[in-house]
Chain A
């Protein structure tokens, strides 16, 4: 080897050696295969499933390319990119959960709108030891029937929205005497009605029930129920209807002036205010199951989310989009925390442990995983009253309830808390 060749060779070796010292091994972190399950078909796909998917897509894209606003930074979840796998909840959710994990190799699953799906999937997730985040379903049974290790819920459970609804309706109708209910005949509808009526009756003893209707889910035709509700002529009609059933109920009740004569409390009404603007009468009480959608508080993160959603899809996000985004962000926050603690690419188990008890930022505000041993989220929850302002659907008289006011304390079952008269509740 000639002299200059030797010099070149030694220099090249030094450069390679220096390069190896200066940077970690260039091995790409394994991506997270993330199952995303929602109703992508069926009667709730339009109002709930598709906004949820859009919310997930938007946040996953921002996570993978590293464009999420503060407080988030960096690409991926602790450096691991997300590979989404979409699964339709309308098709046998429990069996499909097994397929998602065992055949498609999902490392984690986010999803489930129906309480029935969540109650069915939770034990399977525990059995398969797969990190599973419920983004939308509300049944309190998920955690009250026993502690979970692998299952989390990143939004409020249904008891919270019904306790808040009771407080809200009594704040605007303090002389309330009678209630009617229109709820779907399964766990969600029955538990929502139970928690709402018991909360109202505890806060204002003497309130009576005029009629309670429980049509089958996805029934679609509510003429006879509307007649019964009209005849009962209660001060307030409570409904936890959601998706296409909610739309059909509003469409059929509107021309019969049901909500003009009796004040309706629609606990998930936020999905309908932009599509059924002409049918929802002013004075209807609207909920969004938390703090998202039209009732999201102002923040820089919220502004970014709405602007990015508008830019990507040409429409404003309804509240299911917020809660799916919230769930994906829970994974991001937990992964980043785990990576920071271990100074390594986080394993799914490290992410799961970091998620327990975590507090993280979402477009609808701060989410705190502070109930059921760190597996159940609590957030502020808001209600407002529908009004057309310059022809635009607007929610006025908005009241925001802090978790201390409407969420049962740790270790207390929600029904026990309601029946005991909300001991320890702190409301402004």
Chain B
């Protein structure tokens, strides 16, 4: 029992991280039909921002340690939001309506530009922001000790999922977004300001990517190349869940997280295989992922 419980907890922790990383990616695709390779860069920017802010924060002894969580998360979101805004206004808006493959290439170019920009700003040395990671202590569940920070990530992912669901389904702006997702042409015809929605969506998506990076920073050494490693996993999640579906990203993350945790504990050699094995199995039966976006029938 304790064995299964620990697999479940490990799986959910990993799934939480995967979901926060991929939520922004799938949101942007759903609204803009842009498969944003630069999402990995926003993750990296968030991690670097958080690491820098945590370093600065803990150099001020008079500040309460728990405040570092807010500084880390809000700082990462804010910088990611601005980076997203600049990217959308500075580049992507001029390429609106281009083929999805072209946009993949453009955003891949942006990923490379951001990688160099990150090196230009932060250099190539490692950054550490480990203080918040142990601040919440740890909990014994059965025979296994878990870090409370990791357990809290499950809650954070839940909050992100709930806020996204509520925003998309219960707010006026969310309903406008869903209208754009379902039928962009009709939405424009109805007078919805698609440009403004695109700008806001891209900035929010980038902010979510940066939040994921910021929350990861305390448990890793923040180094160049961080975003490149993450983007492959995020794609696996959103493709499994269905491109553009936030619910799909959530279910995809949980499936992959649990499968990986089970493999690590039961069949370690298959750890890498199961991530893509899950994706392949889903795509074999549902080629467009678990949750396919509705699309208007064109005549």
Report A's interface with B, CB cutoff 8 A.
40-47, 49-50, 90, 185, 211-216, 218-221, 223-225, 227-228, 230-231, 243-244, 247-248, 251-252, 254-257, 275-276, 278-279
Contacts and interface: CB of A to CB of B under 8 A. Distances in A.
Contacts of A49: 124
Nearest to B137: A255
Please give me the 3 A-B residue pairs with the lowest Cβ-Cβ distance, nearest first.
A46-B126, A247-B221, A224-B264
B21 to A, nearest CB: 11
Interface string B194-230: 0000000000000000000000101111011110010
B247 interface: no
Given A231-B6, A247-B128, A224 B14 contact: yes
A231 B125 contact: no
11 contacts: A42-B224, A43-B229, A50-B124, A218-B229, A223-B10, A225-B268, A230-B145, A231-B143, A248-B220, A276-B130, A278-B130
A220 B265 contact: no
B147 interface: yes
B29 interface: no
Contacts of B269: 214
B171 interface: no
A43 B225 contact: yes
Contacts of B126: 46-47, 244, 247, 275
Contacts of A47: 126, 221
A42 B224 CA distance: 5
Interface in B204-261: 216, 218-221, 223-226, 229, 260-261
Contacts of B17: 221
Which among A45, A223, A230, A244 has the highest number of chain B CB atoms within 10 Å?
A: A223
A220 B220 contact: yes
Given A225-B264, A276-B130, 17 more contacts: A41-B119, A41-B224, A43-B223, A47-B221, A90-B225, A213-B268, A220-B226, A223-B10, A224-B14, A227-B264, A230-B144, A247-B126, A247-B221, A248-B220, A251-B130, A255-B147, A278-B130
B265 A224 contact: yes
Interface of B: 3, 6-7, 10-11, 13-14, 17, 115, 119, 124-126, 128, 130, 133-134, 138, 143-147, 149-150, 216, 218-221, 223-226, 229, 260-261, 264-265, 268-269, 271-272
A218 B225 contact: yes
Given A228-B264, A228-B268, A248-B219, A221 B144 contact: no
Nearest to B272: A216
Most buried by A among B11, B13, B124: B124
Contact of B272 (A43, A185, A247): A185
Contact of A251 (B6, B219, B226, B265): B219
B14 A223 contact: yes
Contact of B138 (A40, A223, A231, A255): A255
B20 to A, nearest CB: 12
B272 A41 contact: no
Contact of B10 (A44, A219, A227, A257): A227
A44 B221 CA distance: 10
Contacts of A230: 143-145
Contacts of B143: 230-231
Nearest to A278: B130
A227 B219 contact: no
Contacts of B128: 247, 251, 275-276
A10 to B, nearest CB: 65
A224 B260 contact: yes
Nearest to A185: B272
A223 B268 contact: no
B268 A227 contact: no
B271 A216 contact: yes
Contacts of A44: 223
B6 A227 contact: yes
Contacts of B134: 254-255
A214 B267 CA distance: 10
A218 B115 CA distance: 16
Contact of B144 (A215, A220, A227): A227
Given A248-B220, A255-B147, A43 B226 contact: yes
Contacts of B268: 211-214, 225, 228
B145 A46 contact: no
A45 B229 contact: no
B147 A256 contact: yes
A215 B224 CA distance: 20
Nearest to B119: A41
A244 B130 contact: no
A117 to B, nearest CB: 15
A46 B134 CA distance: 23
Contacts of A275: 126, 128
Contacts of B125: 45-46, 50
A139 B119 CA distance: 30
Given A43-B223, A224-B264, A227-B6, A251 B124 contact: no
Contacts of B261: 224, 227
A47 B223 CA distance: 10
B260 to A, nearest CB: 7
Given A213-B268, A223-B10, A228-B264, A257 B220 contact: no
Contact of B229 (A40, A50, A220, A225): A220
Given A43-B224, A212-B268, A213-B264, A224 B10 contact: yes
